Amino acid sequence: MKRPNAFLFVAAGLVAGLAFAQQPQGMVKVDLGTVANTVAKNMNVEAEKIPASVQLPVGIAATTCGVPAAKLAPGAGGEMASCQATTTSVVLEEFLGKQLKAAPKQ
């Protein structure tokens, strides 16, 4: 009887570990809606090419959202932190430029 319980415990641990592994560590989901036009203009691309949101490293997200990095810790249950962009920066635009270049051509 103890073996099935041990199996369930191990299986639950594996599932939790896989769920945790799917979320990139130190990343924050940033809503770019309020700065998309400015970013597009600075990057010399059409505004439609700027994604509505993007996953950014904590440091870039903190600057882009105007909040301390410590406030961008993962939420309860390991949910990815998120924030609303309030400004753009050269670092943000370089990050997005790399993503746009890496995106598959349509």
Q: Which residue has the tokens 């924030």?
A: 83
Does residue 96 surpass a pLDDT of 90?
yes
Percentage of the chain exceeding pLDDT 90? 57
CA dist., res. 49 & res. 39, Å (int): 10
Domain boundaries, the chain: 24-102
CA dist., res. 52 & res. 86, Å (int): 14
**pLDDT tens across 15-53, in order?**
334 344 444 568 999 999 999 999 999 999 999 999 999
**pLDDT range class, residue 105, cuts 50, 70, 90:** low
**Phi and psi (nearest 5°) for 2?**
-75, -30
Note the pLDDT of residue 14: 38
CA dist., res. 93 & res. 88, Å (int): 7
